[in-house]
């Protein structure tokens, strides 16, 4: 709402309220309520109802290019979306360059200016892990020249760490050892050649356990750091994944439990046992020397 939140309107006068709403992530009709509070005893609370419609240059069905989980040996995966004329009149969609690795798209006309078919394909060279991208299109509508279509997928990585991150204590009273297993997918496993960490006080080494490579992380006794995060870097002989990085995070330092305090204000003298006067609760002392 534009203008000051507090404003004075004299009896009989009117006041124009300008309300601006963002159309981002809104589709078609929407309703929003704005609460207004006054010092008028008969109208302490009023509600302004805003009703509008977001004009879309074109619509897609489904709204997203959703692929779910894809194994690397599954072959190219394709999803088809239908693009339809929206509220701005005839459309003439065209694809803008796609930056996401392994993603391709093509448009075909069904009915000129009204309906088009968009085919989206993910394949080699495969992206790795979670894919959250957007396809950008020109619409051919002057008032909304571009539009984006979300794309979601999870491509099983060629190489992943298990667990995906290493959690170690920020302060260590004794030596702590952590292990990270290297898991390969799609074809014969590659080989890790070198491992390093960007903290000189930590030690990382490669070990073989039943034909599976494991990265050992050793936290020395007396270790202490204020760093927010460190990174383990693994170099391999695999062309698809020449380098894998594993985050090192730190566990929170647990605070010691609070000691119970005497009832009442801090520094207050403890109350005498029940049934006794304050004078009776005091230990007896003698003013005579030697007694």
Map out the domains of the chain with their CATH numbers. 58-155 (2.60.40.10), 159-251 (2.60.40.10)
pLDDT (mean) for 6-16: 80
Residue 290 has pLDDT above 60, yes or no: no
For residue 249, name the pLDDT band (cuts at 50, 70, 90). very high
What is the Cα 101 distance to its own chain's centre? 22
Q: Cβ atoms within 10 A of the Cβ of 53, count? A: 12
What pLDDT does 41 receive? 84
Residue-wise pLDDT tens digits, 156-199:
999 999 999 999 999 999 999 999 999 998 888 999 999 999 99
pTM of the entire predicted model: 0.63
Q: How far apart are alpha carbons 192 and 57 in whole angstroms? A: 51
Each residue of 219-254: b (16+ CB within 10 Å) or e?
A: beeebebeeeebebebebebebbeebebebebeeee
Give the angle 140-146-150 at the CA atoms, nearest 5°: 130
- Which residues, 6 or more positions from 118, have their beta carbon under 8 angstroms from its beta carbon? 60, 80, 81, 82, 83, 93, 105, 106, 107, 135, 149
Rg (CA), the chain: 34
Q: How far apart are alpha carbons 204 and 230 in whole angstroms? A: 12
Do the beta carbons of residue 3 and residue 20 sit within 8 Å?
A: no
3-state DSSP: the chain helix, strand, coil percent, rounded to 5? 0, 45, 55
Residue-wise pLDDT tens digits, 113-131:
999 999 999 998 888 889 9
* Closest-CA residue to 27 (of 60, 50, 2): 60
pLDDT (mean) for 30-54: 86
Residue 289 has pLDDT above 50, yes or no: no
């Amino acid at each position: 709402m534009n203008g000051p939140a507090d404003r004075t309107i004299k009896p009989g006068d009117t006041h124009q309220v300008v309300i601006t709403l963002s159309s981002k992530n809104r589709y078609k009709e929407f309703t929003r309520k704005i609460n207004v509070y006054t010092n008028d005893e008969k109208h302490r609370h009023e509600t302004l109802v805003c009703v509008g419609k977001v004009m879309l240059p074109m619509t897609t069905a489904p709204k997203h290019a959703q692929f779910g989980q894809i194994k690397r040996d599954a072959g190219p995966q394709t999803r088809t979306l239908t693009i339809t004329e929206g509220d701005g009149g005839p459309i003439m969609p065209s694809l803008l360059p796609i930056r996401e690795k392994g993603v391709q798209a093509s448009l075909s006309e069904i009915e000129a200016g009204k309906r088009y078919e968009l085919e989206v394909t993910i394949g080699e060279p495969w992206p790795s892990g979670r894919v959250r991208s957007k396809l950008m299109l020109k619409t051919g509508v002057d008032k909304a020249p571009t539009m984006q279509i979300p794309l979601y997928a999870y491509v099983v990585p060629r190489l992943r760490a298990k667990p995906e991150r290493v959690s170690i204590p920020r302060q260590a009273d004794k030596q702590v050892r952590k292990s990270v297993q290297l898991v390969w997918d799609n074809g014969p496993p590659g080989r890790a050649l070198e491992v390093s960490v960007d903290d000189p006080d930590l030690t990382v080494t490669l070990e073989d356990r039943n034909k599976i490579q494991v990265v050992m992380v050793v936290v020395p006794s007396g270790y202490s750091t204020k760093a927010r995060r460190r990174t383990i870097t693994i170099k391999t002989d695999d062309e698809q994944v020449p380098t894998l990085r594993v985050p090192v995070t730190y566990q929170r330092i647990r605070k010691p439990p609070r000691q119970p305090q005497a009832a009442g204000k801090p520094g207050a003298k403890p109350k005498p046992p029940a049934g006794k006067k304050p004078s009776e609760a005091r230990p007896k002392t003698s003013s005579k020397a030697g007694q």
